[in-house]
Chains A and B, each alone.
Chain A
Amino acid sequence: EDQVTQSPEALRLQEGESSSLNCSYTVSGLRGLFWYRQDPGKGPEFLFTLYSAGEEKEKERLKATLTKKESFLHITAPKPEDSATYLCAVQASPSGTYKYIFGTGTRLKVLA
């Protein structure tokens, strides 16, 4: 069964304390892995798309990487404004159809 699992469920960091969020997936025909940020009371905001193993993308303090089984979102020297829920999603294409599967997210809290 196609599945996307994010860990940890919640994470508390001190300002400046770097860490990584994990998104592991089991899907057929991966067509892309997506990271989103969601602030309370808002819809998810698109961050990155990764297409193939070994690919990396960066945006400010965030860096996303992809392997054949998982993706990591590295947060370097986080600030309180990085506090949000980070969602991972995969787009898969089994048998010619398209599926878009979200994980349940990691709630990140960065303390000043």
Chain B
Amino acid sequence: ETGVTQTPRHLVMGMTNKKSLKCEQHLGHNAMYWYKQSAKKPLELMFVYNFKEQTENNSVPSRFSPECPNSSHLFLHLHTLQPEDSALYLCASRPVRGTDLTNYGYTFGSGTRLTVV
């Protein structure tokens, strides 16, 4: 365990379903991230939360909706997804001091393998 826990590990959903991915960390980190990892592509940053506030939305379609109720939990709500959204969704966290992104590496969870059918 890395300290960042993601559930579920695997998810199969139809295009009309609504589901949520959950991420939890108790590392005391104040920044949390959603990344998408597809085969043979670089990790794609989706959303950034600093101190529970969303600071970045990387042009992600509205069928993905993030929620950060506190600095330890992060959700990704999914609805009316497309087959091309099938991928590994990774949550990450790292410490942030003020507005200066100190150069700590991310701590990643193990990801949710999402398949849209």
Residues of A in contact with B (beta carbons under 8 Å apart)? 4, 31-32, 34, 36, 41-49, 51, 87, 89, 91, 98, 100-104
Contacts and interface: CB of A to CB of B under 8 A. Distances in A.
14 contacts: A31-B101, A32-B103, A34-B105, A36-B108, A42-B111, A43-B110, A44-B90, A45-B2, A46-B105, A46-B106, A91-B101, A91-B103, A102-B42, A102-B43
A6 to B, nearest CB: 9
A51 B113 CA distance: 33
B101 A98 contact: yes
Interface in B29-62: 40-43, 45
Contacts of A43: 2, 4, 6, 90, 92, 108-111
Interface of B: 2, 4, 6, 40-43, 45, 90, 92, 101, 103-111, 113
A45 to B, nearest CB: 7
Contacts of A89: 43
Contacts, number: 51
A104 B92 contact: no
Decide if the interface of chain B is mainly helix, strand, loop or mixed: loop
Decide if the interface of chain A is mainly helix, strand, loop or mixed: strand
